[in-house]
Chain A
Amino acid sequence: MPSPDRLLDLLVARATEGLPADESDELEQALPGRRDLGGDDLDLAAAAVYLAYDVTGSHAEPMPGTLKRQILGHGLGGK
């Protein structure tokens, strides 16, 4: 079982630059036994930080209509 310090390092890396397959597997195997580390919590924190800096991004360029129609066409079929 990886140490809590190692798991935190992996969670931070996943939330910022991503993980290679072997480290991703290591994290996925260890996390169910470490609910105290919060699972997705650091990814959510990183998403909140992204949104904090996203001053104009969401308004700068709307999603293309053709892409929207494609996704609507699939509906929940890909679920």
Chain B
Amino acid sequence: MSEPARLLDRVAAGDQEAVKACLDRFGNLVWSLARRLTASRADAEDAVQEIFIDLWSSAARYDPSKASETTFVAMLARRRLIDRLRKSKRRPPTEELSAAADIEQSDLNADVAVKDDAARAARLIRTLKPEQQQVIKLAVYEGHTHQSIADALQLPLGTVKTHLRRGLLKVREAMRATDAASTGGS
């Protein structure tokens, strides 16, 4: 999957045409994130509007050497949605947590190009122990708190935090390594 030619640069430069292009390219992704991490459709609509306003003002911060535009947009969206979740003190229902903890390799997205950040993350996740995969999926994809994951999986809270820390650091290193390789190690 090839990324668009610096769509976010056009937004940062104030190109109004880029607004529609951004919505066309990232709208469904942001909407799906909002639906997953908000309690209602109305909350999701409010959140998506906030996310795109944030995107317009943050576009100039995009650094193509660190991540794809899609990953950058997903990061902005997740950060705002997580903040809203925390403030509302709402989280996905705990009863869904145990079922979501079951890990199947088919959970991981295979429908992405080899060089995409998500594909790199998926390859890295597959190398982790099942318990680490469970913790990462529950926290990052399902939106559960560290404490609720510890309770559901009957793990010490410190173990949950360690799994998350190690897992995210490994993904970060994998993303950096690929960036270095693609720029000739510079």
Contacts and interface: CB of A to CB of B under 8 A. Distances in A.
Max count, chain B CB within 10 A of own CB: residue among A41, A52, A57: A52
B69 to A, nearest CB: 11
A70 interface: yes
B153 interface: no
A32 interface: no
A66 B144 CA distance: 30
Contacts, number: 180
Contact of B108 (A9, A44, A52, A74): A52
Counting contact residues on chain A (CB < 8 A from B), the size range is 35 or more
A76 B16 CA distance: 7
Interface residues of B, number: 68
23 contacts: A14-B79, A16-B146, A16-B164, A17-B146, A18-B83, A41-B66, A44-B66, A44-B172, A45-B169, A46-B140, A47-B67, A48-B74, A49-B125, A52-B108, A52-B125, A53-B137, A54-B32, A54-B141, A64-B31, A64-B45, A71-B23, A76-B56, A79-B57
